[in-house]
Structure 1
Amino acid sequence: MTPPGLRYRFTGHERVLHSVQASKALPQLMDWFDYRRAFIVCSHTLNTRSDVIDTLVAGLGARCVGLTDKVGEHSPLSNVLSAAKQIFDLKADVIISVGGGSVMDMCKAIQLCISEQAFDLEKLLQLQMQMSDDGTEMLAGSNAPPAIRQIAIPTTLATSEWTPVSTPINEQTHQKARFLVTDGAPQAIIYDPSLLARTPVSLLMSTGIRGLDHAINTACSLHPHPLASLLAEKAIQLYVENLPRLHNSGDMEAFTSAQLATWYTGMGQMSVPHGFSHWMVHIVGPLAGVPHSDAACVLMLAQARWLEGYANEQHGRILRLLKRTESFAVVLESLLAQLGMPRTLADLGLKDEQIESFIQPALDHPQITKNNLRPINTAAEMRAILALASGL
């Protein structure tokens, strides 16, 4: 394959507010962009078990025209379509996403529905993204100008706020739909470390690992970019050093640094193609019914083991930054153990028959077998890396 050359993809953010109070920053952004009719999409837990959403709604006053917390794991398409029609009917002029990757993914797909007037499943699925012939570039299935944007208030660390890509689940097939949304990345991001500190620690750790996985795939890309690699390597350092500190809800410096890690990761991850672990969660998550981030823990570690001897330069730069002398896979395994996160597919509750059932869908996926520093092209190679994920 001919390398695509150096290219940097800016994903269209106009404002990023870091280390601010969301309830104060959101009305200011509404004024800045001259928005008057906000619709909030948030997680059910955040809405029902905290005062976060009530505080944001109170701060917006009459400018909040609606709210839904019907999101769900992996953003089911039925929820996307229902919310899109609701937002369109209310004539909202901006979507406020408050939560993690599922919430932000849902909002991107909602944007596509409204921009394309696609309020039924068949029409929406026709808008899925395609891949370039060389497998390195994602191509949008829609060129419609955005009819609505989102402002994101992330409460996790998986970096969904930095991409225009949405992968909600199709409940009929249990497979991920794949959309590249024009201006799908949020127009603005509000990073409030105090909100991050209120996220359950287990969710914070697993999404932090998902963010770390994105950074590793950027740093170890088959077609790297110097700026993306520099940002990713620093992000890896920040994740590794700060994730263990997030058990202390009062350590605001650690929460702020972890959010900064997602920023560094996000600024580069769309500029280079990612490998196995980034995409394989789209198979394991829906088919096995496990969260993306938990699957990422296991697949990230398996990929590091798979690349031993093939990514010496990339792993070496990271290890020097971390001031560690053991292998990169050992560093990751130690981190996962310290955080109490899963390290094998068995830790996710998966049986041998389930694992075997992943192989053909993975080979059929348009990305999983592309852009790996160490090739994964055959069933035997797929079975070998899944064996590493099983701890064998």
Structure 2
Amino acid sequence: MSTQLKTDSLRSILSGVKRPSRYIGGEWGSSPARQDRKDILQVCYAFPDLYEVGMSYLGFQILYSLTKSLDYADAERVYAPWSDMEESLRKTGTPLWSLESKRPLMEFDVIGFTLQYELSYTNVLTILDLSGIPLRSSQRNDSHPIILAGGPCALSPEPMAPFIDAFCIGDGEVILPEVYQVLHDLKGRSRSEKLSALSKIEGVYVPEIKSKQPVRKRIIENLDDAFYPTEMIVPNTGIIHDRIAIQVFRGCTRGCRFCQAGMIDRPVRERSANSVVNQVERLLKTTGWEEVGLLSLATCDWTNFDEALKKLAPLLEKNQTKLSLPSLRTDADSVNIAAKLQSIRKGGLTFAPEAGTQRLRDVINKGVTDK
């Protein structure tokens, strides 16, 4: 039975914290929880950082929409609270709730964390603690949600292994539908049965089940065939990157020695120009955002950039929309790209020299000179 938090309780808590819009949901593009479907798997995606940070992360938007599109699962969201909200929740004994249905996280079948950076690990534990869920996997029983984790840091899972039930290694668009289908089919069964079944899925690592076989990373081979949302959640408040985000390719060919993403996102996979233009056109219609960001590790390396720019220019001009390129190398290719953008409203160009001296750039294999 749902213990949806009462409006009076929410008002009392939210009236005493900064930026209560972080915790209320109801944004344009978000979908109501399907509470009428008791047979579906109830998933809550948890981003272990502030709302402003989590809402800027494209992967969260993709997985939310993907799960909503499944007939056997539903998705809601939660973000790490700011210190004033955490204090209020602890003081009143109120459990952390989801944005869509205002239900305590303890009531969900699955809580899925994204591990984007190591400094967020303590926030994972804070979210579990505020939800009344035991921190360690070994302390949980059949009444608790299954705790999943994915993202780049999941490729080095052992630091968080005592706290996570199962890690999804690789591209979530491929793994999660299989994971949710298995957990849906096992609703009402024991926790041990669920974890045993998850361990048999390629790309899933269950720490408590020892195996001599390596866990293979799952990848999407063709980005044009990958799921991409036709709508996105538009925040009610300012966020870090307040714009349409389109990932133009995954991976990188450069081989900089310090770069985690350039290694774990291999092989390089590109989106076609037509795919990107179609996504931009759809999202401009459904979101109302006034800026588009083309995302990748180094957008200047996207081989379809010139073709896409020619097709995007009239579309952006018609909608009076800015174009942002948030990751550019400091080389001649980026200078040429900047020149090609002169006729387009620019939201921002971000150049990444990475090091202040030529010696250090050589050490990290950056391949960029002062000239």
Structure with more relative contact order (C-alpha pairs < 8 Å, separation 6 or more): 1
The structure with the greater share of residues assigned to helix is 1
Normalising by the smaller structure, the TM-score range is 0.3 to 0.5
TM-score, normalised with respect to structure 2: 0.37
Larger Rg: 2
